[in-house]
Amino acid sequence: MYKAVVFDFDGLIFDTESVHTTIYQEMFDLYNLEFPFKEWIQNIGTKSNFTIYDLLEKEIEQIDRAQLKKINKEKLETRLNTLKVRPGVENYLKEAQAMNLKIGLASSSDYKWVSNHLNRLGLIHYFECIMTSNDVVEVKPNPELYLLAANELGVEPESCIAFEDSANGSLAAKRAGLTCVIVPNDTTKHLTFPEVDYRLSSMTDCALSDLLGKLTYQKS
């Protein structure tokens, strides 16, 4: 019996990932270069020493990183201010509350980033725990974030469902022993995912109660 749901943030609740990707594509267009999409998306859902500027410098010997970062940050802030929650997300949160499921969040981003956006979107009150990169030594695909979220919620990992959009996030959830449902966005739908328990194109595909029924049947 499922007792909790744990949501990823970037790309799952709020599709910052597709916005970032579009901005980086535009940056490569400035130099008339092809954006290395397949290489870039492998790093979604985790943190790495590797950056998009490293990829650009493979093609161009010298770039003005400071100026490019300034331009990209301004674009990001402008576009995120008008970006809405992904379809169906708030309905799932409301349903989870109505079903007395515990609700947590596990993100490889830092707490300030996640909490600022959740507050602006009016969603932060749904979450009983918010675990971020500030709470762990290693982020996804390490399972630590999900294990910590389950512990904070007071439930066993096996009684939790993780909602993810990335391969790194899905791998973390499965390594932690959670049931994992992937809901890829326009960027991460191109990824190859590890073995997961269910895939939705959108949370509008079916109600949370119906999804729980499908997952429970699969486990029985």
pLDDT for 176 beyond 70:
yes
Q: Which of 80, 102, 120 is the last residue of a domain?
A: 80
Coil, strand or helix at 166: coil
Render pLDDT for 51-94 as a digit per residue (tens, 0 to 9). 888 889 888 878 898 999 999 999 999 999 999 999 999 999 99
What does R_g of the chain's alpha carbons equal in angstroms? 18
165 has catalytic annotation: no
Q: How confident is the model at residue 174 (pLDDT cuts 50, 70, 90)?
A: very high
pLDDT for 220 beyond 60:
no
Residue of 10, 15, 135, 197 marked active site: 10
Residue of 8, 15, 135, 165 marked active site: 8
What is the count of structural domains for the chain? 2
Both 158 and 196 in one domain: the answer is: yes
Mean of per-residue pLDDT scores for the chain: 94
Both 54 and 153 in one domain: the answer is: no
Both 9 and 110 in one domain: the answer is: yes
pLDDT-above-90 percentage for the chain? 80
| Across 129-138, average pLDDT | 97
Both 72 and 158 in one domain: the answer is: no
CATH number at residue 160: 3.40.50.1000
Both 89 and 152 in one domain: the answer is: yes
Residue numbers of the domain that contains 141: 4-15+85-219
10 has catalytic annotation: yes
- Residue from 177, 112, 118 nearest 146 by CA: 177
Q: How confident is the model at residue 40 (pLDDT cuts 50, 70, 90)?
A: confident
Both 54 and 149 in one domain: the answer is: no
Render pLDDT for 177-192 as a digit per residue (tens, 0 to 9). 999 999 999 999 988 8
Both 190 and 124 in one domain: the answer is: yes
Both 67 and 90 in one domain: the answer is: no
- Residue from 129, 85, 95, 126 nearest 213 by CA: 95
